[in-house]
Amino acid sequence: MKVTWLGHSAFRLEFADKVVMIDPFLSDSPVFEGDPLDVAKGATHVLLTHGHSDHTGDTLPILKETGAMLVSSFEVCMYLAEQGVDENKINPGNHGGTVDCGGFTVSFVNALHSSSMMVDGKPVYLGNPMGLVVKAPGEKVLYHMGDTDIFGDMALVHERHKPDIGIVPIGDRFTMGGETAALACQRYFEFEKIFPCHYRTFPLVDQTPDKFLAALGDDAGKVLVPEVGETMEV
């Protein structure tokens, strides 16, 4: 599997004949440079952890350009369908469920956060936030935590899904900070590789993964810290 970090919580996954975009916050991102439609070229699926605009980002133009399938909560899928997404191209789910995406599956797990979209200056509720577990034949199991704090039932996520690759928010204020994220990784998971995310984007969040790496100690060697736009194979 090829994993490209696109800044914030946005990632591009490539495996088999699939191109999966996760939380594609690109054109309004302070750290992403380039054409969002170019980096999303060939996309077969767009996965969204929740409805905040710094995660839904360029979902609509990507879906319209590529014809990709949208995979997210029921509320997020229905909201974006109202904005013009083809209802035949949505694949909604909720906590505890798993959906077949044709060649891979996505399981929806808990995340401690919120989910809404600002419309006319007011927040519109968009269901519960989620973490996403991606499983494909012959590939490592990947867990994108979404935006979350640590929670004890992460132990059940590990027991049920045994993820090999973790995408972990570390930026503090709106998610776990580095020390808490390190505790989550070490107490509840046995990740082979870890991609930190949700940092560096805005002044309010941590600008480096230094706290996370320091708190991991000997496990810091598991962490992959690509530059924005850099692709790594796992």
232 domain residue, yes or no: no
pLDDT of residue 70: 98
Residue 231 in domain: no
Answer whether residue 122 is part of any domain: yes
Is 233 part of any domain?
no
According to DSSP, residue 223 is labeled B
pLDDT at 124: 94
pLDDT at 176: 98
- Beta-bridge mates of residue 116: 125
Percent residues over pLDDT 70 in the chain:
100
For the chain, what is the domain count?
Answer: 1
Output the pLDDT for position 68.
98
Domain around 52? 2-225
pLDDT for the residue numbered 212:
99
**Per-residue confidence (pLDDT) for residue 28, from 0 to 100:** 98
**What digits encode the pLDDT tens for the residues 59-90?**
999 999 999 999 999 999 999 999 999 999 99
Q: How far is CA 108 from CA 97, 143, 196, 212, in A?
A: 6, 10, 20, 25
Mind listing the pLDDT tens digit for each residue in 160-170? 999 999 999 99
**Does residue 85 fall inside a structural domain?**
yes
Mean per-residue pLDDT of the chain:
98
Query: What is the 3 state secondary structure string of 124-183?
Result: EECCCCEEEEEECCCCCCEEECCCCCCCCCHHHHHHHHCCCEEEEECECCCCCEHHHHHH
Give the model confidence (pLDDT) of 120-162 as tens digits: 999 999 999 999 999 999 999 999 999 999 999 999 999 999 9
* Bridge partners (DSSP) listed for residue 156: none
Tens digits of residue pLDDT in 34-60:
999 999 999 999 999 999 999 999 999
Is the residue at 124 inside a domain? yes
Beta carbons within 8 Å of 64's beta carbon, 6+ residues apart: 84, 85
Residue 38 covered by a domain: yes
CATH of the domain at 199: 3.60.15.10
In a domain, 234, yes or no: no
Could you tell me if 155 and 179 are in contact, meaning their C-beta atoms sit under 8 angstroms apart? no
| Single pTM value for the model | 0.98
Q: What is the mean pLDDT of residues 157-186?
A: 98
Contact 181, 196 (CB under 8 A): yes
pLDDT at 23: 99
